[in-house]
Amino acid sequence: MAKYFAVNWTDGEPDDMFEILLQTLSGKYAGVCIITMMRNPNELKIRVEKMLAAAGVKNFIVMAGAGGIKAPWHDPNGEFKFEDAKEYSVLTHMQTLVDSTKFINNAEDGTVDLFMMTVATDFEAIMYNIDPKKINMAYAQGGRLPKNKDGFTPAGFNWASAMQAAHKFIQWCQFHGKKVLLVENIDFSLDTAFPGGSVSIKQYPDLINGLKESSRPEVRALMVHAAAWGRWIEKTLPAVCARVGGPEIIQKQFTPADALLAMLACNDLDEMGIVLEPTKYILDDKYNSSFRNEVISEPDPSSCIMRVSNILPGPLIAMLRTLL
């Protein structure tokens, strides 16, 4: 019988949704809490609830976290237009902070895993109220981007979007001795395993087509979401579109970044050949939300922050095939 519990902070991008779906279907967790954040958290809350309900998942709760953009963040040509999504409410967010704290503190000691797939602002808001004895370990996507033209390594999106919160998350885990498995930015960790940082129709035609035609309605809907996200990337991030393979590929792919957290949590690390590198991260949080912040890292055997390396595509692809 599953004894662990999971708390996920998500911005609802396709890789997050795959992570949540794979995690909840894994059977590892007796209860799962999902906090939707950033881009219209109430709309994302409905999206996640509908996906998990369609998948037959019972042991979950979804809460709307920090955010506030009223308009849908996804491509308006997508199929997700939930008219019952309500305007962001400060009162709703405050209740989420209370309820997510209770979810953690009501668990048995050492049974809660944390999954940080977006900014750490909501964790920062509750970190002094949660009981560290309840936490088993954490999984996070973040870290560094490649060295830029100014000669330093800026933070990746999840950290750069709220640098001070990322700094607090790292400090809290280090202070309380909680191991963090960190999947660093795509350009460092994933390009070898997934060319272009993508699970695409170019490398995995049978998988992508199978997911689009899956017998599971929530998976088909998720692939529509991924295509809509691809259209948004094509319009707004042409360099990313080109790296993935161009306009003919961008709507038939998704990044594996956050989905890898489910792979790490629900499989044996040794069997997957995963290498964990204890790493000290020094975050310059001079600017709270900026890619001008530098991230310095160095090996440190005493660090609880474990940079994940030697990622191979096989285990995640096998998990994704269970959704066909």
Please choose, from the candidates 266, 11, 314, 312, the residue with its C-alpha nearest in 3D space to the C-alpha of residue 139: 266
81-124 pLDDT tens trace: 434 344 445 556 788 999 999 999 999 999 999 999 998 999 99
| Per-state percent for the chain, helix, strand, coil, to nearest 5 | 40, 20, 35
Amino acid code (one letter) for 154: P
Residue 227's pLDDT is what? 94
Residue 66's pLDDT is what? 81
176-218 pLDDT tens trace: 999 999 998 655 456 678 888 899 999 999 999 999 999 999 9
Amino acid code (one letter) for 177: G
Q: First CA to last CA across the chain, in angstroms?
A: 26
Show me where the domains of the chain are located. 4-192+255-311, 196-250
Mean pLDDT is lowest, of 46-50, 162-166, 261-265, for 162-166
264-280 pLDDT tens trace: 999 999 999 999 999 99
If DSSP codes are grouped into helix, strand and coil, which group holds residue 113? strand
Mean pLDDT is lowest, of 47-61, 65-79, 151-165, for 65-79
CA distance 40 to 150: 34
Q: Which CATH code fits 4-192+255-311?
A: 3.90.245.10
The band of 289, judged by pLDDT with boundaries at 50, 70 and 90, is low
Task: Give the start-end residues of each E strand in the chain.
Answer: 4-10, 29-38, 60-67, 112-116, 135-142, 180-184, 199-200, 253-254, 275-283, 295-299, 305-309
How large a percentage of the chain has pLDDT more than 90? 64
What would the DSSP string read from start to end of 271-304?
A: HHT-EEEEEEEEE--SSSS-TT-BEEEEE-TT-S
Is the pLDDT score of 72 beyond 60?
A: no
